[in-house]
Chains A and B, each alone.
Chain A
Amino acid sequence: MRARIFQLHKRSSYVFEAIQDKFAVTEKCQIVALADGATQGFKSEQWASQLVNSFVERPGFDAKDFLEMAHSEAERFRAGPFQYNANPAMASLERTKEKSGATSTFLGVRFSDEGMELISCGDSNVFIFQADQIVGVPFANLDELENNQSFLNTNQILKGIVTPADFFVTAVPLKQDDIVLICSDALSRLLLASPDVLRELIEIKSFEEFLTFCSKYWENKSLQEDDITAIVIVPPVDETILVLPTPDFSFPQEDTPLFTPFFDDSLQNDEAMQEIRSQLFRLEQEINVLKKRSAYQMLLLKLGLAAIAVCVLLGILVCSFPSSVDVKPTTSNRTLPKRSTQMPQAAPATSAPLQQLTNDPSQLSKDSASH
């Protein structure tokens, strides 16, 4: 029988080297170890590697024995040394993160003729596909997995905060032709929510098929965007096949431009808006002034043209009257009355004065206001 080990890194990591799921197996998969380094920890992928490699060399299915092994590994991890970022703000983050230690989950399995032994701390899970049913160990349903808060942190191990109570240890009998599937948390969540997907998963043979499988469930949002590990074992194992991304495989790096709000930064407060409104109002007023001026100038032009036209008409009329009138001389002694040499006095005003035409803006403003 064969064991197939499938791994695919999360899309946001782009390259396989960044995967934080670490595994180790002995020949013929008698011992299998899977650890999922937590991003929140300091160099957690390194810690996860230490755990799985040490476990397959020195497997312990007693929680106390496991903790002894983990304790010595945590001391080795803490000894470092580590290099820090040149950016002071980033270096500060790294030093702070280092103080909180590295964090990982862990799941170890040993196969024998009697069945399977399991030791676990964290949210990885084992699924046993038995003919007509699927059994999840240690988590039988999604709520149990979600409520699990256990993990292996280097600092907490060294301080003795992690105890055997944080581990799940059990033995499970296996039947011939049972298929065992060991998964990290993202895939475990999918299989607990939709157990039938396991039937699809165990049929996968190649990396391309696995990539298609993961991509499909990532796209429909039923699989978390996380590292995916699936170790499919039909014991007893004669051959172990690694199904991993090829060295040249990477997810495309999306060149997503940084978000920029659509609205204009300068329009975010009343003062700026009021200034702009004021400027618009002044502009509107000036346009009105120009319009008025233009209107009056047009009126003047029309009046002038009208006056000219009247004069021309009058001239035409005068010219068209008869040129002389017969006037008989008289000898009477009547004399013609003398013409007065005084100008007649102006008649008293009896109507309002003519409106003055002006281009005084203040007058125009008053006019426009009255309109």
Chain B
Amino acid sequence: MYNIRNLTISSTHPCLIIYLLDQSGSMGEKFGNASHNKAIELTDAINDVIYEIGLRCIGNSGELKNRFELAIIGYGRNGDNVQSGWEGPLQNKWVVSIKNIFEYPLGQVNDKPIWIRPYAQDSTPMVKAFQNARRLCQDWIDWGNHRDCHPPIVINITDGEATDAGSDFRALKIESEQLKQLSTNYGSVQILNIHISNRTGDRVLFPGEMPTTDDRSARLLFDISTPLTENMVRLAKQKQYNITDNARGYVFNGNATDLINFLNIGTPQ
């Protein structure tokens, strides 16, 4: 295993980030005290983080360096199916380089490009989303020199529990364990989970241990989240989160600020 401190994410050594987006019917509910729903909040956050990644990749002469490759997997928009979340010219693409992402935005809103739109429709086939993520990660790691790159990061954003994981969530546990087995020479795939909610209290932010809770889904998502890396801990502390050394990449009942911060913490510098 190489020392990740010596790794620079670059166009010759890119990093893959996979966003799993809950597009189930419950995402149509209001988000906290906002007038808009969770799906819109999520979409805005993802469009913003893609823009932020673009800012990190723009080079001296204004060209974009392909330091990041992004995948968006939407689940719950169409029954028990999952599909690529890219639309427009990028439709049906799974992994897209940051350069291509900025060449083909879906449109512009307030002078900023956007790439995805909000959906809140059916059930929550989270296991299937993780299966897709695992296959993408495996294929990406096996491609070219990607074994010498930063390990992929999977970021799951949901407001509820999986509907295809069985009564004991066994299928999701198995799938996440298989995903964690994948690695590059710089470490294993990282899994981060954020539970967004319309509740206003009891936030759990990057815990080292999960507080006692009756919420089985929260417990599950904590269990399948991987520990924060050194870099993520540093970023989280910079954002004033109270972080312990064994903190996991998990947020429960996160608000809008938590969502944006979570996404930025999950993006390697």
Contact = CB atoms under 8 A, between A and B. Distances in A.
Interface of A: 10-12, 18, 20, 37, 39-40, 43-45, 84-85, 87-90, 92-97, 100, 146, 189, 221-226, 254, 256-263, 265, 268-271
B157 interface: no
B128 A269 contact: yes
A269 B127 CA distance: 12
B62 A85 contact: yes
Contacts of A221: 2-3, 6-7, 148
A20, A222, A261, A271 — which one has the most chain B CB atoms within 10 A of its CB? A261
B62 A88 contact: no
B111 A40 contact: no
Contacts of A222: 3, 6
A172 to B, nearest CB: 27
Contacts of B139: 259, 261-263
A268 B64 contact: no
Given A92-B51, A224-B8, A261-B136, 11 more contacts: A39-B65, A89-B108, A90-B64, A92-B108, A93-B64, A96-B51, A189-B5, A254-B12, A259-B139, A260-B95, A268-B82
> Which of A43, A89, A95, A271 is the most central at the interface, judged by chain B CB atoms within 10 Å of its CB?
A89
B201 interface: no
Contact of B60 (A43, A89, A257): A43
24 contacts: A10-B10, A12-B13, A12-B65, A18-B60, A39-B56, A39-B60, A88-B108, A89-B102, A89-B105, A89-B108, A92-B108, A92-B111, A93-B54, A93-B102, A100-B55, A189-B5, A221-B148, A225-B13, A258-B97, A259-B146, A263-B135, A265-B84, A269-B80, A271-B81
Interface string B37-71: 00000000000000100111011111011000100
Contact of B58 (A18, A37, A97, A259): A97
Contacts of B135: 261, 263
A268 B55 contact: no
A18 B94 CA distance: 32
A184 to B, nearest CB: 13
Contacts of A11: 12
Given A258-B97, A261-B136, A92 B82 contact: no
A256 B149 CA distance: 14
Nearest to B111: A92
A259 B59 contact: no
A92 B113 contact: yes
A88 B113 CA distance: 8
Given A87-B102, A96-B55, A269 B81 contact: yes
